[in-house]
Amino acid sequence: MAKRSDLPFEPKKKKGAAKPFKAPATAAVRSNVSKSAPKQAKSTGIPEIVSQRMVARMAIFCGTPTLLGLMTFPLSYFMVHEGWFKLPNIAVVITSLSLFGLGALGLSYGILSASWDEHEQGSWLGWREFRTNFGRVVESWQAYQGQRSQNAE
């Protein structure tokens, strides 16, 4: 399997054992340290442009089916009331629930189909980005499970 490149906002993995955290002995020492030490602005969060890209995709892929799911009941009522169609109740409920389920899936697809690279916009549908990002999520989950099983032993 090809090794993937790290994303700019992923924390760097340190080689070797991590040093244990040592807490200051007294409150006076803590207050002196906090006053004298400058705060670092380094953030390992998701960059703003990537976050906006994810939100826009979630709005499209979740909002569209959810809105259609909400419109199912009034539209079906209007069609039955005007005498255009005789719809069984179960058809309306299944259609509505299916659209709400599609909206729930759209949330995940919106996040995973956005390009996680700050400098790359990605494709309109985002299928290539979805496959890449889903692979990263699975790889991360497998690494976590491996660490968890090693710690249990």
pLDDT of the chain, 153 residues: tens digit per residue: 456 666 655 656 655 555 555 555 554 444 444 454 445 555 568 888 888 999 999 999 999 999 999 999 999 999 888 888 888 889 999 999 999 999 999 999 999 999 888 888 888 888 999 999 999 999 999 999 888 888 887
What domain range is 58 assigned to? 46-152
Amino acid sitting at position 79: M
Q: Does residue 23 fall inside a structural domain?
A: no
Query: Would you say residue 68 lies in a domain?
Result: yes
Whether residue 105 lies inside any domain: the answer is: yes
In a domain, 40, yes or no: no
- Inside any domain, residue 102: yes
Residues in the chain: 153
Backbone angles phi, psi at 18, to 5 degrees: -80, 145
Q: Is residue 9 part of a domain?
A: no
Q: How many domains does the chain divide into?
A: 1
Residue 53 lies in a domain: yes
The answer to whether residues 111 and 137 touch, using CB atoms and an 8 Å cutoff, is no
Is residue 21 in some structural domain?
no
Using CB atoms within 10 Å of the CB of residue 53, give its burial: 0 to 12 exposed, 13 to 18 middle, 19+ buried. Answer: buried
